[in-house]
Amino acid sequence: MIYHQFNIIKKTGLTSAVKDDDARKVMIVNSFSFLTALLCTFCGVSLSLISGQWIILYTAMAFVAGFLSILLLNRKHHYAMAKFGLLFVYCCVMLYYGTTFGESTQVHFLGLFLIGVPLLICSPKERGLKCACMAMPLTGLILLEANYYYQVVQPMELTRSMTFAFRWLIMAVVVVLNGMVISFYQVNIASLVKTLGIRNRSLRKRHEEIAGKEAELKLAYKELESYNEKLEREVENRTAQLNANYKVQGEILKDLQHTLAQMKRKDLQLEEYVAELETLRANLTTARDEAENANAAKSAFLREISHEIRNPLNAIIGISYLLLNDKSNKGKVPRDIVSYIENIYTSSHSLLEIINNVLELAKIEAGKTDDIRQESFALRDWLRSVVTIYQNAARLKDVGLQLQIDNGLPSHILGDRVHLSQILNNLLANAIKFTPANKKVTLYCFKKNALQWCIRVADEGVGIAKEKQGLIFQPFEQADKTIYHKFGGTGLGLAISKRIAELMGGEIEVWSQPGEGTAFTVTLPLKIEKNQQLQEIVPGKKQFSVLPSSKRILLMEDNQTNQMIMERFFSNIGIQIMIADNGQDGVAMTRAHMPDLIIMDMHMPKLTGREALKIIREDPALRHIPVIAISADAFREQQEAALEAGVNEYLIKPVEFDRLYEVVDKYLDAPCFVTAERMVAKVS
Ligand code: ADP
């Protein structure tokens, strides 16, 4: 119970916030204060009773109050002040009793006890407080000794037995207090030892843990080392690889740089090439323009030349034809003169062929290709008329010329008569040219199958060497240069014939045996006009039959030779034609005489053929009259322009009389029907 109460007093002023060590010091202060207050009370009472001096009791009570106020200070949590206060009250007690009872009572021993107290109650942090608390009892001791020596305060008059009793009482108090100090030290030491033990155990545990951790660490370290070694090896390998790669990359980089430099050089070169090309292209464009201009000029020139040659050629061929075929001359002209005329006729045909070929080549070079016409024409008639032309040439060379036509062929076929004539002329002219006297040339015309027909010109001439057979179809190529010296020629005929055949959807082939002969076969698609009602001209009819003399034909032609030729031709077939020297007269005569047919030259003075035609076609009274144009303009576009303008037929000079007869016959038979229909279409 008492112990419990003491414990409560001992813990005065403690809170949970106060640390263990500080709490212990507060409890020591409380214990010292309380126990000393008790001792002080006991001593005060005892000494008062012994001495009979009640002042001792009163002062003792004041000291007791001082000790209890220490408890109060702790209760108020003024711990430092309480510590200082405790030492202060002790010092006061020591000074009071020391001076009051004198040196023989041994009160100064209390000072020795007090020097040890601050060590117990002050923590190492409270160094200043500790010093002050230790300085106080020392100062008290010094003051006390000084007082003993100098006798400043006179001690109480005590008897010998009282002094003896006082000394023993005070000594007992000092012993008790020292015992308390020692016991507190002991407790402190014990708690320190205990703490140390705990610390030691925990340290040992820590040490063990550390040792365990150390072992683990060692293991980990070992693993780390091996891993490190592995890593180092890998790093070495990688470094080696990287070095190798770096080396390779360096080489690649070098290569790339080299290539880049090359590319840059190439780029520069390319730029130079491009610049050169640009210049070249500009030059080429200029050259092309110049070439095109030159070509156009050449074409215009050829057109002019062709036109200029055809007019006199028309006269030569026409006159020689008329001379050869005029019945009234028969027997009157000497044989050698006839032969000269035949020569003139044949040569002028050769000349015509050359002109035709040169014109065709000019067209090819100018990039113009004629459209292939699909017109119905009498096949046998056409073949015979061509053969007739070459009969003279063959006769002059004593070469036989035969025509064999397959009976299976239709009377009329669809095709381009002009272009076909060009091929046939070339082949026949060559065959006759390369065939010696007393040999023969045969023209076969036959049906190959339901879709194709063929023209074959076979001769018994010199033949062509195998190796030359592929070359002869190229322009300006001849099988043998000696041929040129012997036979002449341009080397154009076969090239042009091949091209025309291909344009028609056909082909041309050659077979030849040197010394035996040559055969050229043209294969063409067979096209027939549906519901064809046209009459075939009876084979063998060579002479033109007389046409009805009542028919009126007006010829508009400024060239007098041509007028004469036409007049003779028509008088031979029973018609007296009217002639106008220019377009203007031609229109006037048309109005005056209303002819059944007009034959018109396209180049005339005063009114050109085109202008005259316009007037006729625009006049309702005249527009039905069929008009046949005869012109030296051999170009396809010129023909087409004339047909567009309203001519019914277009014949090219030199005129083929067979063809002229054919168309005249056709339009005199049914002129109005054909013309009227065409014109209705045109005017609308
Ligand atoms: P050319 O105007 O020279 O006759 P072509 O193109 O018509 O030109 O003929 C080319 C060459 O083919 C001739 O020069 C000739 O060497 C050869 N040739 C053509 N037809 C015959 C043939 N029937 N017999 C022998 N050689 C021929």
Report the distance separating Cα 67 and Cα 377, nearest Å.
Answer: 164
Report the distance separating Cα 13 and Cα 77, nearest Å.
Answer: 6
What phi-psi label fits residue 331: left (phi over 0), alpha (psi between -120 and 50 degrees) or beta? left
Closest residue CA from atom 4 of ligand 1: 489
Around Cβ 35, how many Cβ atoms within 10 Å?
Answer: 17
Which one-letter DSSP state was computed for residue 532? -
Give Dmax over CA atoms of the chain in angstroms. Answer: 222
The DSSP bridge partners found for residue 504 are none
Report the distance separating Cα 599 and Cα 553, nearest Å.
Answer: 7
Is the Cβ atom of 426 under 6 angstroms away from ligand 1?
yes
Predicted pLDDT of residue 97: 86
Predicted pLDDT of residue 674: 36
Closest residue CA from atom 25 of ligand 1: 463
Is the Cβ atom of 518 under 6 angstroms away from ligand 1?
yes
Q: How far is the CA of 451 from the centre of ligand 1 (A)?
A: 29
What phi-psi label fits residue 579: left (phi over 0), alpha (psi between -120 and 50 degrees) or beta? beta
Report the distance separating Cα 264 and Cα 658, nearest Å.
Answer: 75
Sign of CA dihedral 459, 463, 468, 472: negative
Residue 118 · residue 134 · CB < 8 Å: yes
70-107 exposure pattern, b = at least 16 Cβ within 10 A, e = fewer = bbebbeeeebeebbbbbbbbbbbbbbbbbbbbbeebbb
Residue 494 · residue 439 · CB < 8 Å: no
Residue 6 · residue 34 · CB < 8 Å: yes
The DSSP bridge pattern shows strands 649-652 and 627-631 to be parallel
Closest residue CA from atom 7 of ligand 1: 493
Q: Could you report the per-residue pLDDT of 25-77, keeping only the tens digit for each? A: 899 999 989 998 998 898 889 888 888 888 888 999 999 999 999 999 999 99
- Calculate mean pLDDT across residues 632-643: 82
Contacts of 196 (CB under 8 A, 6+ apart): none
Report the distance separating Cα 66 and Cα 53, nearest Å.
Answer: 21
Q: Is the pLDDT of residue 677 over 60?
A: no
Contacts of 288 (CB under 8 A, 6+ apart): none
Which ligand 1 atom is nearest residue 431's CA?
A: 23
More confident site: 494 or 548? 494
Report the distance separating Cα 501 and Cα 670, nearest Å.
Answer: 34
Residue 664 · residue 628 · CB < 8 Å: yes
* Cα angle value 346/426/665 (rounded, 5°): 70
Every domain of the chain and the residues it spans: 2-194, 373-525, 543-678
373-525 — its CATH code?
3.30.565.10
Which one-letter DSSP state was computed for residue 327? G
Query: In Å, how far are 159, 174, 543, 639 from 43, measured between CA atoms?
Result: 18, 12, 195, 170
Which ligand 1 atom is nearest residue 426's CA?
A: 7
Report the distance separating Cα 615 and Cα 619, nearest Å.
Answer: 6
Query: What is the length of the chain?
Result: 684
Return mean pLDDT, the chain: 83
pTM for this prediction: 0.47
More confident site: 332 or 250? 250
Closest residue CA from atom 11 of ligand 1: 478
Closest residue CA from atom 20 of ligand 1: 430
- Calculate mean pLDDT across residues 564-589: 88
Q: Could you report the per-residue pLDDT of 362-405, keeping only the tens digit for each? A: 766 666 666 677 888 888 888 887 888 788 788 888 899 999 99
Q: How far is the CA of 646 from the centre of ligand 1 (A)?
A: 40
What is the token pair recorded at 556?
């508009």
What is the token pair recorded at 280?
């070249």
Mutation test residue for ligand 1: of 442, 443, 472, the one with most atoms within 8 Å of CB: 472
- Superfamily of chain region 543-678: Response regulator (3.40.50.2300)
Q: How far is the CA of 478 from the centre of ligand 1 (A)?
A: 6
